[in-house]
Structure formats: C-alpha cells, structure tokens
Structure 1
C-alpha cells in the first residue's frame, strides 16, 4: 500500500459548518431586506424545490455548467413566483452566497489540520462558487497546497474531472491521496472513481447507503483522522 502524502478535503460540513440554522438566518435576512410577506420556513420550502432541481441538473456531464449563484437565483425566482412574491431572485442568491462565506469552522478542524499538515500536504476540493469558498479558506489556519472549486473546474462532484484537476495540480498519484468528505454520493463515489482512498466524515451519524460506494473509513470528527491515515498508509 502506498504511503499517504496528501489529504484532500471537502469544505462544507467537513471543515466548515453549513446546517439548517445557518440557512434559516439567510432566509430571515432575505425576507427582511426585501420586505417579503412570508416566513423563513415557507420560503425555504418553496426554494428547496428549485434548489433540488438544480442539484439534479448540475451533475449532468452533458449539460452546461451552472454556478451556485445562478442556480440558486433560478430557485428563488421559482419560489417567489409560487408564493406570489415580488422579490429579487439575484439579490436573494447573492445574500446566500455572502452568508456562506461567513460560515464558522468546526472546533475540531484547526487542531486536526495543524497535526496533519506537519507530515502531509493538504488541499481543498469543494462543490462551491469561489465567492464563498475563498473567504472561508482564508479564515482557516492551515496551508493548503491547492484549492479547487466546482466553479473553477466547471463541473461538480462526483464528476471524475474535478478530482483529476486536483491530482494534476498537486502532481500526485491517486494512490498517495486520501479524500475526506461528508457525502457518500458526491465525495465517496467521486474520489473512488479516480482511485483515491476515502474517509467519510459522518458528523450526524447517518446510515450508509448500501447502493453507493463504501468509504475506506468513517469518522465523527477530524481529530480521528491522523490515526486513520496511519492505518491506510
């Protein structure tokens, strides 16, 4: 088995938090700034329909690339129409992007990254627009060799092309890399597709989907990762 020289991380819900409460705050702000006659939960439910549609369309390898900014603007446009609201979809999407850039870092992340960075290269590969990924990366006390976004790669995980971009930039062989992410479909399937080992960070104790690729290891927080990497090396 090859020695692990490089650890590539997903960002949101792996290193940075991105939960329902954070999104609720964004919807509260959107409603307030635009003077919309609705409540956060109603708007979120209406927006979810378009957002889920975007989530399905974005992984079509034959379709055009759509950024989160544009995909979420479309979702807000549909939500406003469904709720008979005269809102500004582009401004709502921009607010969501700005808020994502302020997401807090998980408490375990700085120490774990410091330990890992002493012996291995660190990198980020995330489904994200640069406008909100880069501000989060800038607040993390770690030296990343490269940061790859879906916007930069013009494709979304689990598309193998995004992982191959990271491997090319790192000049690394898949066998010497481990990918760490929180989603079995996007992260485990995607990294496995190019031959990387995968550690699934399962902070919410969710069950594995037996119909999807299984990770090489499962952790609850990033401080468990150094020991896992020793086993995989």
Structure 2
C-alpha cells in the first residue's frame, strides 16, 4: 500500500457486528408493550435524524448516552409513557457492549499490526467501545472515539484531531470503514486514503481508494 503507515478502523459494522435499527426497536417495544399503537415506519424514520441532528455541525457536544437519553425522553413524553429515559439509554448501551467481532477480525488485525500502526476511529462512548474490545480480545495502538475527541464523524475535526495526534502525513493514513460519509468522504476531505468495507458486495462507490470484502485483503493491497 505504498506509503501507508497507519490504518484507522471504524468499529461498528467494520470490526464488530451490529444490527441497524435494533436500538429503535427496543425503545419502540417498551412503548408497544403498554398497549400503545406505534407506526413502526414513522418511528424508525424519526429515530436516526434525531441522532444526526445532535452530532453533525453542532456547537454543544453530547455523548451517545446523553443523546439516547434525550431521544428516549422525547418519545416517552409524546406517547405518555412513564419510564426512566436515562436507564433505558443505559440498557441500549449495555446491549451495544455485547457486540462480537466479524470472523476475519482477530487474525487479520494481528497480522496487520505487524506492518502498520493500528488505530480505531469510532462514533461511540469510551466505555462501550472498551467493553466490546475487551470482550473480543481486540487490541490496537490508539483509540479515538467521539467522546474523547468531543466530535462525531463525519465532522472534519474528528479526522484532523487524529492527524494532529500523530507525526504522519495525511496520505500515510488509511481509513477503513463500512459507511460512505463517515469512513470515506470524511477522511478523504483531510487527505487520508480510504478503504470501503463492502462485506455484502453492494458495489457502492463513494470515491474510496480501495474496496474490500474482508480485512485480510488489506494485506494484499498495492
């Protein structure tokens, strides 16, 4: 991979499995279990924008725990539900802490670390990522989260802070992830090289330098 010296991995969807929409469905079930009717499609469509509105181009930083709590509270008030919004946010993050790695991750990371500095760059709270890494016996050289950087991908500050923390040129980084905006467009905007992890073979093109279906392919890129 030429001048690449450090590889930054997104965490969830790249190193660790997760089911999109699972958190929204958990909260929706808390509401419907009380016999309250909910339009599932509308509920799910509203869930993600609330997160985006509190993470993209915002002046005041909030952790994921704080965002989940605020979102739960908003929904419980709307449906007149008497539940502890913060406790339910903790429940969501506790479930997130149980995520497992993709089968190719342990062996591939071990080999990759022999050749490159390996970092994680993830939109998540520190304790959640720490639990997942410990559970899956994953180690890297440095960990960058939205919580410790006080901003979220694809905010350019996220990637710039990684650059500032390392004595490397932007083109000496390879950012690896499974989403277009966060893991390709964002890091490319600061000069990093990118690899899109396309495990499902979608053929999506976000302008990435490489497309891979497993992490093992990183060891053969030219």
Query: TM-score by structure 2 length?
Result: 0.87
Aligned residues of 1:27 and 1:43 also touching (Cα < 8 A) = no
Q: Give the whole-Å Cα distance in 2 for the aligned partners of 1:140 and 1:6.
A: 22
Aligned residues of 1:146 and 1:170 also touching (Cα < 8 A) = no
Aligned residues of 1:160 and 1:191 also touching (Cα < 8 A) = yes
Query: Following superposition of structure 1 onto structure 2, how do residues 129-208 of structure 1 map, counting pairs within 5 Å?
Result: 129-206=125-202, 208=204
Aligned residues of 1:164 and 1:194 also touching (Cα < 8 A) = yes
Aligned residues of 1:2 and 1:175 also touching (Cα < 8 A) = no
The structure-2 alpha-carbon separation of the partners of 1:192 and 1:13, relative to structure 1 and needing over 3 Å to count, comes to same
Q: Give the whole-Å Cα distance in 2 for the aligned partners of 1:37 and 1:172.
A: 55
Q: Give the whole-Å Cα distance in 2 for the aligned partners of 1:66 and 1:217.
A: 33
User: Any idea what SS the aligned residue of 1:110 has?
Assistant: helix
Match of 2:71 in 1: 75
Match of 1:126 in 2: 122
Match of 2:207 in 1: 214
User: Any idea what SS the aligned residue of 2:141 has?
Assistant: strand
Match of 2:3 in 1: 3
The structure-2 alpha-carbon separation of the partners of 1:214 and 1:126, relative to structure 1 and needing over 3 Å to count, comes to same
The structure-2 alpha-carbon separation of the partners of 1:78 and 1:46, relative to structure 1 and needing over 3 Å to count, comes to farther
Aligned residues: 222
Query: TM-score by structure 1 length?
Result: 0.83
Aligned residues of 2:24 and 2:47 also touching (Cα < 8 A) = no
The structure-2 alpha-carbon separation of the partners of 1:113 and 1:49, relative to structure 1 and needing over 3 Å to count, comes to same
Match of 1:227 in 2: 220
The structure-2 alpha-carbon separation of the partners of 1:38 and 1:193, relative to structure 1 and needing over 3 Å to count, comes to farther
Q: Give the whole-Å Cα distance in 1 for the aligned partners of 2:113 and 2:22.
A: 29
Unaligned runs of 5+ in 2: none
Aligned residues of 1:67 and 1:129 also touching (Cα < 8 A) = yes
Following superposition, the deviation at residue 205 of structure 1 comes to: 3.1
Equivalent in 21, 35, 58 of residue 55 of structure 2? 58
The RMSD of aligned alpha carbons is 2.8
Following superposition, the deviation at residue 159 of structure 1 comes to: 1.4
Match of 1:91 in 2: 87
User: Any idea what SS the aligned residue of 1:170 has?
Assistant: coil
Residue range with higher mean Cα deviation, 199-208 or 12-21: 199-208
The structure-2 alpha-carbon separation of the partners of 1:101 and 1:204, relative to structure 1 and needing over 3 Å to count, comes to same
